[in-house]
Amino acid sequence: MKPFTYERANSPAAAAAAAAARPGAKFLAGGTNLLDLMKLQIETPAHLVDVNGLALDKIEPTGPGGLRIGALVRNADLATDARVRRDYGVLSRALVAGASGQLRNMATTAGNLLQRTRCPYFYDTHMPCNKRLPGSGCSAIGGINRSHAVVGVSEQCIATHPSDMAVALRALDATVETVRADATTRTIPIADFHRLPGNTPHIETALQAGELITSVTLPPPVGGTQSYRKVRDRASYAFALISVAAIVQRDGTGRVALGGVAHKPWRVEAAEAEMPRGAKAVVARLLSGARTTHDNAFKLPLAERTLAAALAPGSTRS
Amino acid sequence: MNCSDDLTITRRGVLLAGCGATAAASLPTSAAAQGAATEAPVTARVTLDVNGTSHALELDTRTSLLDALREHLHLTGTKKGCDQGQCGACTVLINGRRVVSCLSLALMHDGAKVTTIEGLGTPGSLHPMQAAFVKHDGYQCGYCTPGQICSAVGMLDEIKRGVPSHASGDIAAQPLLSAAELRERMSGNICRCGAYSNIVDAITEVAGGTA
């Protein structure tokens, strides 16, 4: 790990200003992804701004009847909150489908959104990777890419976003609230928060330098039967090959978001009009224009079957 | 054994020499790839309450909680397995919650109460979970065992607090104490010897035998 200087922030605005003032500075919250990447020298921040002392660890009701989740609420605490389990079951289920018990006690809401891809070439510093070293090339294209993205890919990157939580937040139309280095705040819809790789796969979110996530807000509950189904190579503690967050209403309408298929949680609202006609029709719209490789083409039928299971009557299990 | 001094080579010595050679060989590549200059280490102060004793430490900012426990406080019961958060051997309790100490900086825990395997019980007065692992033969080589035991203690508290899991049928209900629940909740602790069934037996006994 490269040496770095360290400070504890006193307020969100001060943290944003401190991070913006130091080139190469990073926020430190749960640390579960950042420290791993620092050990491998994939991340080499010269300065860490520890935000753990900020009072951003509450889950509070909002005026319109939703929930505001503090950026520092740990994944386990968010999954356990009685309001989340009752009204936003897809979020609770997505959270417990990810990582391990220990990591869910550490990882934060904001950090979960900001975690980086587990593409093995991103992690291997001896291999070209446009995300890690822009312009060096993509080793996954033409390499071992069974776990990689099938939609929204570019010639520069076919990595997936690894988060389960973000897939549920996309289905729930959550928003991300931030504070910038000049102390101004803004709200970013989750749909616009993560970016597709395009020609700049190293730029993964809409955040500006020093911009700090302060909370994630859930709109009022939408009801329905909520499920999160995750298909992976082992039954627990593995990243998704395919995951489906589904909210199904009694009349068969609803919402669907996929994980494991793209550089961001994947939802196409127009495809949801097909829900009463079943999984095949939905996935045809949802994954239209897919660009698969020899090794990951299985994800298209797997997405359809996983969605079919999620849409089956009585499906709430993850 | 009757070895002359120049033939006395420890395994650790060989490993260290090997690592040094590898690091030296790969340094130009990684330095060029990352474009980062090497700078001097930075130190900072932190106070940790470990097993009921307060320790004021001045540490390199890079020091993980795991290395602070093992290398600075010489509490070597906590094991370093993968050092990447994947194996669970370094699991300790922070303010009663289980975490992997390898993916945490010591500096992040100023004033926190850390409980390691040494703080759960002693050879003369075992924690019930330690006693159950012995009784049920919940290990073979034992390397993962301190992490398994700390994790199991934290995990049972999570069930008591109603923390749901991927194995929970009804996400809104109080979780059950089933074998499926215990296995899912312990998936962050790897045992390469494969003592899993006995580990489940040990935890089940401590939990009250309802699994």
- Judge contact between B182 and B134, C-beta under 8 A: no
| Predicted local confidence at residue B38, as pLDDT | 52
B188 vs A103: CB contact, 8 Å cut-off? yes
* List of residues 6+ apart from A193 with CB closer than 8 A: A113, A176, A205, A206, A264
| Predicted local confidence at residue B1, as pLDDT | 39
| Predicted local confidence at residue A317, as pLDDT | 54
Nearest to B42 among A5, A79, A82 (CB): A5
Q: Provide the 10 A C-beta neighbour count for residue B171.
A: 27
| Predicted local confidence at residue B25, as pLDDT | 37
Name the DSSP class of B111. T
* CA–CA dist A6, A27 (Å, integer): 10
Residue B116 in contact with partner chain A when CB distance is under 8 A: no
B187 vs A101: CB contact, 8 Å cut-off? yes
* pLDDT at residue B30 tops 80: no
B41 vs A3: CB contact, 8 Å cut-off? yes
* CA–CA dist B76, B67 (Å, integer): 9
**Residue A39 with chain B: CB contacts under 8 Å:** 83-84
| Predicted local confidence at residue A18, as pLDDT | 97
B166 vs A100: CB contact, 8 Å cut-off? no
* CA–CA dist A268, B138 (Å, integer): 49
pLDDT digits (tens, 9 = 90+) for B87-100: 999 999 999 999 99
Distance from the Cα of A67 to chain B's closest Cα (Å) equals 17
φ/ψ of residue A191, rounded to 5: -60, -30
The rounded mean pLDDT for chain B is: 86
Q: How far is CA A153 from CA A150, A245, A260, A293, B58, in A?
A: 7, 21, 12, 11, 47
- The token duo for A11 is 């307020």
A100 vs B187: CB contact, 8 Å cut-off? yes
Nearest to B188 among A6, A100, A316 (CB): A100
Displacement of CA A196 from its chain's centroid (Å): 13
Among candidates B92, B106, B102, B99, which has minimal Cα distance to B63?
A: B106
| Predicted local confidence at residue B39, as pLDDT | 78
Residue B22 in contact with partner chain A when CB distance is under 8 A: no
* pLDDT at residue B164 tops 50: yes
**Residue A97 with chain B: CB contacts under 8 Å:** 166
pLDDT digits (tens, 9 = 90+) for A283-306: 999 999 999 999 999 999 999 999
Give percent of chain B above pLDDT 70: 81
- Judge contact between A206 and A188, C-beta under 8 A: yes
Residue B83 in contact with partner chain A when CB distance is under 8 A: yes
Q: Which of residues 142-161 of B touch A (CB under 8 A)?
A: 151, 154-155, 158, 161
Residue of A nearest to B156 (CA): A101
* pTM metric for this prediction: 0.92
* CA–CA dist B34, A157 (Å, integer): 19
- The token duo for B5 is 């001094």
Among candidates B84, B81, B132, which has minimal Cα distance to B104?
A: B84
B42 vs A317: CB contact, 8 Å cut-off? no
pLDDT digits (tens, 9 = 90+) for B94-128: 999 999 999 999 999 999 999 999 999 999 999 99
**Three-class SS state of A85:** helix
Hey, what's the torsion of the CAs at A69, A74, A79, A83, to 10 degrees? -30
Q: Give chain A's residues under pLDDT 70.
A: 315-318
Give percent of chain A above pLDDT 70: 98
* pLDDT at residue B37 tops 80: no
Residue B8 banded pLDDT, cuts 50, 70, 90: very low
Strand pairing partners for A49? A7, A27
